[in-house]
Structure 1
């Protein structure tokens, strides 16, 4: 090859090798503007507390940009889900993910305008929040076996849940089906109302988040029988898991409230990777960890977008058959 052509070929090869790195260097860093975080429930609940805690930690990790929490409650979280599903995939609109709106909503409501398993791009699994089975302080049930025996004796025993298709509702239905016991579900509008019904002895049991019930457990106003987590909860070390307390019928039983961050489908991979780094870093901040672990009794998860996507797929596979077989619908 003539020397001139050799030099041209060499320059061409070097430019080709340098182009991807140059493109990355010239690409605007995410975020380059304030980011909207759509929350599928109203202010004051556990998911709102988590969202605002993460938002407080966000700016120093995200080029000084803010994370603006926008509560869009209603319809089991699907109002927020529809907003984010229809948003431009530019990283300016994200969602604090929830089982209902982002995994099982179409199983509960077949006419839903979006498909939760296709409409979003998973970014980062933030936390798991444990659930606990509680009964009124005056209940004769001292443990899980006692509650199941009571339900077999009393056909009118009712349980409370904070809405059709919420994980506490699904977890209790799964527990009943696996043990062959019948109870009547009574829906309330919030976890706080569920706890009030248990304290007042209006309902016989509920599976609700530890963070919602912990003060009342400590005060003796409700009794904790078992946690729905895979392992015992550090803030309730003497309370067994449902799998421990339930015998062979409940072996491996597990249910959890989980939250993470996702965006609309079609988010570019470099943006997803950048957002994942920011949210993983936010969860490592001491103030965030303190709220999750001490106030919400939760577990920080973190990880890659692929891990979060696989987790959501697994959650759908866990709950969709129960929803179908039990005929659970929100419409």
Structure 2
């Protein structure tokens, strides 16, 4: 018996088995998409992520040989219902997720009983947009700056109440981070949406809020609420001249963001192809203009690796805030 021949055959067979996934990945990338693609939005229709998904869907056929993008809303538990659904799908590119901070970075910290680990359950595809967030107050609040708000809160821990769009929502975490960095505490009043934050502060039911700029911009322009500072270091041309939180708390850098993620285990070639399609859409001038005009946002784009690093940074930023603050959605 030629044992050398047998070993060579077994070696060739093993090499073929190892090469099979790569070959399948290249084949899938070459034909994707061969049917309509579903993009799961883990929130209700009409919100920022839903609006963005439908904008992207308008241009999707231009880069996919006419195949369409079907937006499917699976809301619940701050994005975790939709996230869990997509995490359980096959990584074949037919079902994708409109990624956000809850479903893709911090969900397990907010709800330890969550059925998946956001940092392991997905293949990051691309970061699509950043939406600036604005720290604002009711006009009757005498404090005009972040430093003045901090000073009063240190002197009187019960001086302020703030509204959020729900426990664990970005608008809650933004304020929790501000309080943690400044060494202060405030009374949290959760609502269900960014518009309810604005309404609450307008009515002086609460004094402060920190939602996306797009949800507050109309009332800011009317003077029904007053801006204190922008959360992102670059500010926003949609609301020029407003100071930055980072002027008082160096390194403070927050924004509402959305991207695209796929189930874990996706072949790299296929993931690259999907990144290419969504990146091409994000680069369109009309998409960038629409994102700014409708949501005061900035299109990001970039590589899969850049999005993966960004997700890790988000996890590292928010995990201690959640743990130390005892923030839970379960």
- Work out the CA distance in 1 between the residues paired with 2:143 and 2:46: 31
- Deviation string, structure 1 residues 113-154 (Cα, Å, up to 9, x no partner): 111011000111111111100111222222222322343454
1:228-307 alignment runs, 5 A limit = 228-244=231-247, 246=248, 250-307=249-306
Matched, 1:184 2:183: no
State the partner residue of 1:329: 328
Select 2:217's aligned residue among 210, 214, 224. Answer: 214
- Deviation string, structure 1 residues 37-84 (Cα, Å, up to 9, x no partner): 000110111111111101111111111010000111111101000110
- Work out the CA distance in 2 between the residues paired with 1:103 and 1:294: 28
Contact 2:29 2:269 in 1 (8 A): no
1:162: Cα distance to partner?
0.5
Relative distance call for 1:25 and 1:81 in structure 2 (3 A) is closer
State the partner residue of 2:105: 103
Relative distance call for 1:26 and 1:228 in structure 2 (3 A) is closer
Contact 1:57 1:285 in 2 (8 A): no
Relative distance call for 1:140 and 1:91 in structure 2 (3 A) is same
State the partner residue of 1:197: 200
Contact 2:29 2:270 in 1 (8 A): no
Identify the range of structure 1 (284-293 vs 76-85) with the bigger mean alpha-carbon deviation. Answer: 284-293
State the partner residue of 1:309: 308
1:180: Cα distance to partner?
2.0
SS in 2 for 1:270: helix
SS in 1 for 2:199: helix
State the partner residue of 1:161: 164
What is the count of residue pairs matched by the alignment? 310
- Work out the CA distance in 2 between the residues paired with 1:136 and 1:24: 56
- Work out the CA distance in 2 between the residues paired with 1:291 and 1:31: 25
- Work out the CA distance in 2 between the residues paired with 1:220 and 1:29: 53
Matched, 1:319 2:321: no
1:25: Cα distance to partner?
7.7
SS in 1 for 2:132: strand
- Deviation string, structure 1 residues 194-229 (Cα, Å, up to 9, x no partner): 110011111010111001111111111110100000
State the partner residue of 2:130: 128
Contact 1:137 1:221 in 2 (8 A): yes
1:29: Cα distance to partner?
2.2
Contact 1:167 1:255 in 2 (8 A): no
SS in 1 for 2:188: strand
Contact 2:128 2:259 in 1 (8 A): yes
SS in 2 for 1:182: coil
1:23-102 alignment runs, 5 A limit = 28-102=30-104
- Work out the CA distance in 2 between the residues paired with 1:221 and 1:190: 18
Structure 2-normalised TM-score? 0.89
Unaligned runs of 5+ in 1: 1-19
Relative distance call for 1:318 and 1:27 in structure 2 (3 A) is closer
Structure 1-normalised TM-score? 0.89
1:27: Cα distance to partner?
6.4
Unaligned runs of 5+ in 2: 1-21
1:112-127 alignment runs, 5 A limit = 112-127=114-129
Give the CA RMSD over aligned residues: 2.0
